C-alpha cells in the first residue's frame, strides 16, 4: 500500500438543529460518523479542528470537544497532539449490504418452517391469533375469569417484596425455582392432587410449553416414538415432533386414553396423557386404565407425562387424584400450571419429576433459561401457604360449575338433535360434535358474523379422520352471554346451508 500524505478535509457541512432534543454534541458526532462510514470523509483525512467547527456553528468549543472525544473513543478518529484529528486509517467500508444471500437456517428451523410441519399441527398459532380478535361473545378457552381473581390480595403479596429493604429481587434466583414455592407446591399437590413428592422434585417453569420442550430434549432422540391422545393437545404434539419424534396417536373415548388401543408394535419412549380431564374431549381415565398404562410404561422403560392442566376444576365429587400418586417406580412426570386457575399471563407452572430426572432437568434448564421471575414465585408461595389459593379454587369451582350448568342447559335447549357432547362435570370448556356433513368453517364464519367466537375442533384430531366439532370455552363469559351465544349457534345450525362444505 502506498502511503500518501494525509489530506485535509475542506470545512465540513453539518446540519445543526439548535432546537432539537438531540444535544448539539450528539448531532456533530452522528453527522461526522456518518460521513466517515459513507466514505465522504476518507481514511486518514484530517478533519477540521474543534475550534473551527465551534466558530462556524456558533457553539462552545467544549461541545465540539465532547463530540470529538466520543468519535475517538469509538475509533472513528485519532488525535495526534500538535498536528490535529484524523480519520482512522484502514477502515473497512461496508459494501453490498442489501444484496446478500438469505441466511441459512438450521435443519431444525427448516423442519419447523416446512409447510408440512406447519399445516398438520397448526392449531397453536390459530388459537393465539383468534383469541385477540374482537367479538361480542367469545367462547375462547383457556382464559381465567378476571372478575373473580383476588387482585387486592395479590397486590399486597407483591408489595411485600417490592421494597428496598428486600434484596430478593436484586439477585438471580435459583434455576430450579424459589425454595418456598417448591415447598408450598409439594404440600399442595400432596393434599389436593394425591401427588407424592418432595420439594426437590418440584421445578418451576415458565408455563407448560417450556416443560414439554425441556422434557423432549432430555428424553427424545430422532425417530423415537411418542404416544399422544387424539383428539389431543396439539401444542404438545408439535413440540414432540419438532424434536424429531414420530407421533403415534391413540384414540380417546368417554374415559380418555384407551390403553387397549396402544399399537401393539409400539416401542414408545414417552406417553402424553391428560388423565384427569381429557383435552379437549373431556372424560377422566378410570384407575384400571391408569394402572394398565403405568404397567405398560414399566414393561418398556417408557415415561408418562401426566398433564394435569385443569385437574382442580371438578364440579361433582372431589377432584380425581393424579396418576402420579399411583406409581412408585418413577415412570410418571406430573405437569401443573397456574395459567388456568390463577392467571394465564403469570406464565408459571411446575413439573414434578421422578428422582432420577431431577439433575438432568436442572442441567438442561440452566442452559435454556436461568429461572422464573422471583417476585411472582414469592407471591404465589405466600398465596398458597396463607390459604388464598385453595379459597380461590373453591370460588372458581362454584362459579365455573354454575356457568357450565348454564352452558349445558342452553345446549340441551337450543341445540337438541344437532350436536352430541361428553357431559363431564369438569374443566372450563365443552367439546361439541356436529352432525357429519356440517362444515365447521362455515359455522365458525356464520357465528363470527353474529358476533360470536367459536373454535374448530378438527385441528385437535391427529392424523385421524376428524368429525366436525367445536370447542367452547366458558370460563370468561357471563351466564347471559353463554345463553345468548348458544341460542345464536342454534340459529346457525338450523340453517339449511350449514351442511354445505
Q: In whole angstroms, how close is the CB of 377 to a second copy at the nearest point?
A: 9
Out of 278, 376, 469, 481, the residue judged to bind a second copy by CB under 8 A? 376
Q: Does 174 bind a second copy (CB under 8 A)?
A: yes
Q: In whole angstroms, how close is the CB of 52 to a second copy at the nearest point?
A: 22
CA 493 to CA 130: how far, in whole Å? 22
CA 316 to CA 397: how far, in whole Å? 10
104-123: which residues touch a second copy (CB under 8 A)?
104-109, 112-113, 118
CA 287 to CA 293: how far, in whole Å? 10
> Which CB atom, from 207 or from 467, has the smaller least distance to a second copy?
207
Q: In whole angstroms, how close is the CB of 226 to a second copy at the nearest point?
A: 12
- Name the maximum alpha-carbon separation found in the chain: 96
218-277: which residues touch a second copy (CB under 8 A)?
218-221, 224, 238-239, 242, 255, 269
Q: Does 478 bind a second copy (CB under 8 A)?
A: no
Helix (H, G, I), strand (E, B) or coil at 71: helix
Q: In whole angstroms, how close is the CB of 434 to a second copy at the nearest point?
A: 26
Q: Does 336 bind a second copy (CB under 8 A)?
A: no
189-218: which residues touch a second copy (CB under 8 A)?
206-207, 209-210, 213, 217-218
Q: Does 100 bind a second copy (CB under 8 A)?
A: yes
Of 478, 494, 500, the closest CA to residue 147 belongs to 478
Residue 425 CB neighbours (<10 A): 16
CA 310 to CA 307: how far, in whole Å? 9
Q: Does 175 bind a second copy (CB under 8 A)?
A: yes
What are the C-alpha distances in Å from 159 to residues 122, 339, 386, 418, 491? 40, 21, 16, 52, 50
> Which CB atom, from 77 or from 407, has the smaller least distance to a second copy?
77
CA 404 to CA 425: how far, in whole Å? 8
Per rule CB under 8 A, count of chain residues that contact a second copy: 130
Out of 288, 412, 423, 441, the residue judged to bind a second copy by CB under 8 A? 288
Q: Does 135 bind a second copy (CB under 8 A)?
A: no
> Which CB atom, from 314 or from 461, has the smaller least distance to a second copy?
314
Long-range contacts of 3-11 (CB under 8 A, 24+ apart): 4/44, 6/44, 6/45, 6/46, 6/86, 7/42, 7/44, 7/45, 7/46, 8/45, 8/46, 8/84, 9/41, 9/45, 9/46, 9/47, 9/48, 11/48, 11/52, 11/56
Sketch the per residue contact string, 384 through 413, with a second copy: x for CB under 8 A, - otherwise: ------------------------------
> Which region among 54-62, 341-349, 396-404, 448-456 touches a second copy (by CB under 8 A)?
341-349
Amino acid at each position: 500500500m502506498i502511503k500518501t500524505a494525509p489530506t485535509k478535509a475542506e470545512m465540513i457541512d453539518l446540519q445543526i438543529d439548535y432546537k432539537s432534543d438531540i444535544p448539539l454534541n450528539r448531532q456533530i458526532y452522528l453527522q461526522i460518523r456518518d460521513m466517515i462510514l459513507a466514505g465522504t470523509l476518507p481514511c486518514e483525512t484530517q478533519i477540521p479542528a474543534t475550534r473551527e467547527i465551534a466558530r462556524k456553528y456558533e457553539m462552545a468549543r467544549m461541545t465540539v470537544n465532547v463530540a470529538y472525544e466520543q468519535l475517538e473513543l469509538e475509533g472513528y478518529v485519532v488525535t495526534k497532539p500538535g498536528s490535529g484529528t484524523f480519520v482512522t486509517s484502514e477502515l473497512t467500508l461496508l459494501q453490498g449490504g442489501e444484496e446478500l444471500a438469505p441466511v441459512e437456517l438450521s435443519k431444525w428451523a427448516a423442519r419447523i418452517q416446512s409447510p408440512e410441519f406447519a399445516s398438520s399441527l397448526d392449531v397453536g398459532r390459530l388459537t393465539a391469533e383468534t383469541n385477540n380478535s374482537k367479538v361480542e361473545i367469545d367462547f375462547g378457552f383457556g382464559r381465567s375469569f378476571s372478575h373473580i381473581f383476588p387482585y387486592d390480595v395479590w397486590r399486597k403479596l407483591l408489595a411485600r417484596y417490592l421494597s428496598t429493604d428486600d434484596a430478593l429481587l436484586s439477585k438471580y434466583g435459583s434455576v430450579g425455582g424459589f425454595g418456598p414455592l417448591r415447598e408450598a407446591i409439594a404440600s399442595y399437590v400432596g393434599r389436593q392432587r394425591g401427588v407424592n413428592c418432595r420439594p426437590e422434585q418440584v421445578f418451576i417453569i415458565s408455563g407448560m410449553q417450556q416443560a414439554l420442550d425441556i422434557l423432549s430434549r432430555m428424553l427424545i432422540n430422532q425417530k423415537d416414538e411418542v404416544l399422544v391422545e387424539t383428539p389431543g393437545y396439539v401444542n404438545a404434539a408439535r413440540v414432540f415432533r419438532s424434536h424429531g419424534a414420530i407421533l403415534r396417536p391413540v384414540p380417546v373415548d368417554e374415559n380418555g386414553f384407551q390403553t387397549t388401543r396402544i399399537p401393539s408394535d409400539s416401542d414408545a419412549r414417552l406417553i402424553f396423557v391428560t388423565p384427569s380431564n381429557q383435552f379437549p374431549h373431556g372424560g377422566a381415565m378410570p384407575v384400571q386404565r391408569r394402572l394398565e398404562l403405568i404397567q405398560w410404561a414399566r414393561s418398556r422403560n417408557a415415561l408418562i407425562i401426566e398433564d394435569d392442566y385443569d385437574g382442580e376444576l371438578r364440579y361433582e365429587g372431589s377432584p380425581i387424584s393424579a396418576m402420579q400418586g399411583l406409581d412408585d417406580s418413577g415412570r410418571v412426570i406430573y405437569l401443573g400450571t397456574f395459567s388456568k386457575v390463577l392467571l394465564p399471563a403469570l406464565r408459571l407452572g411446575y413439573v414434578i419429576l421422578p428422582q432420577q430426572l431431577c439433575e438432568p432437568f436442572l442441567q438442561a434448564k440452566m442452559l435454556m433459561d436461568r429461572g422464573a421471575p422471583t417476585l411472582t414465585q414469592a407471591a404465589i408461595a405466600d398465596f398458597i401457604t396463607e390459604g388464598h389459593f385453595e379459597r380461590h379454587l373453591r370460588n372458581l369451582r362454584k362459579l365455573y360449575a354454575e356457568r357450565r350448568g348454564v352452558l349445558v342447559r342452553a345446549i340441551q335447549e337450543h341445540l337438541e338433535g344437532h350436536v352430541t357432547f361428553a357431559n363431564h362435570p369438569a374443566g372450563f370448556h365443552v367439546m361439541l360434535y356436529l352432525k357429519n356433513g356440517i362444515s365447521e368453517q362455515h359455522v365458525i364464519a356464520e357465528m363470527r358474523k353474529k358476533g360470536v367466537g367459536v373454535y374448530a375442533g378438527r385441528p385437535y384430531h391427529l392424523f385421524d379422520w376428524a368429525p366436525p366439532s367445536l370447542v367452547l370455552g366458558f370460563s370468561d363469559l357471563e351466564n347471559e352471554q353463554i345463553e345468548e351465544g348458544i341460542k345464536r349457534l342454534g340459529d346457525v345450525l338450523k340453517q339449511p346451508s350449514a351442511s354445505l362444505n
